[in-house]
Amino acid sequence: MKIIVFGATGGTGKLILTQAVAKGHTVTAFVRNPDGLPVHPQIHVVQGDLFDPAVVVDAIRGHRAVLSALGARDLKKSNVLAQAIPNILQAMDQEYVTRIIVLGAAGVRPDYGKYQNALTTMAFWVAKKTMLRHPFVDQTAQERLLAASGADYTIVRAPRLLDGPFTGTYRVLPDALPPGALRISRADVADFMLQQLTDPRFHRQGPYIGAGEV
C-alpha cells in the first residue's frame, strides 16, 4: 500500500518507516528537516511545512492512507496537533484519501484507567494535570478534530513510550488501558499502527495498547 507518514523523524515515526518498508509498503516521509531519517531506497522523502495547507495537499496526493506520529517533543505548551490535523484532514478530503491512523495518548479520555488500581489512576491524574497538561491539551484537540471529521480514523492510545525492542506480545483493549500496562516499546506501537492498514476492527475508534508483561 502507498502510505505517507507525518512525524517521521520522531522515535516512533522512524520505526513506522522502517517497518512499513519491511512489510512491502510504498512509503513517503513528510518532514520539515530530513536529518536523522533512515536512509532507504524505498523511502521517498518530501520536505515541507506541515502548516502550509497547499504543501500538505501536494504531499498526500496519490497515497492510499496516512499515518501520523506527530506530537509534542517536550512538555512545553504546543499546538502542533491542533494546527496540523486540520491541514491533513482537509488535504485527505480534497484528494479522496479516507484512512488515517494516528498516535494518541492513553490518558485523554476519563475512562482510560478503569482497569488500573487506585494508586496508579491517582498518580496518572496528577501527572496529567501538572507536568503533562500541555501535551494532553493538544492530544485532546486531535481526538476532537478526528471525531468531527468524516475520515476513517484509528487513534492508537498508548501509555509511556520506551525505546525498547519489538516484542509482538503487546495487549490491546477497545475501551481502556490494559491492567498494569503503563508503558510500551515504540517498536510495538509502530507494528500495531501498521496493522491497522488492513485490520477492520478499530475503524473510527481509539484502541488502547500496552506492553504484554505487567
| Domains of the chain and any CATH numbers | 2-210 (3.40.50.720)
User: Residue-wise pLDDT tens for the chain (214 aa)?
Assistant: 999 999 999 999 999 999 999 999 999 999 999 888 888 888 999 999 999 999 999 999 999 999 999 987 655 567 899 999 999 999 999 999 999 999 999 988 888 889 988 888 887 777 777 766 678 899 999 999 999 999 999 999 999 999 999 999 999 999 999 999 999 999 999 999 999 999 999 999 999 999 986 5
User: Using CA atoms, how far apart are residues 138 and 45, in angstroms rounded to an integer?
Assistant: 26
Residue spans of beta strands (DSSP E) within the chain: 2-6, 26-31, 43-47, 65-68, 99-105, 152-158, 160-162, 171-173, 183-185, 208-210
Sequence-distant (6+) residues with CB within 8 A of 64 are 1, 2, 3, 97, 99
pTM: 0.93
User: Using CA atoms, how far apart are residues 182 and 176, in angstroms rounded to an integer?
Assistant: 12
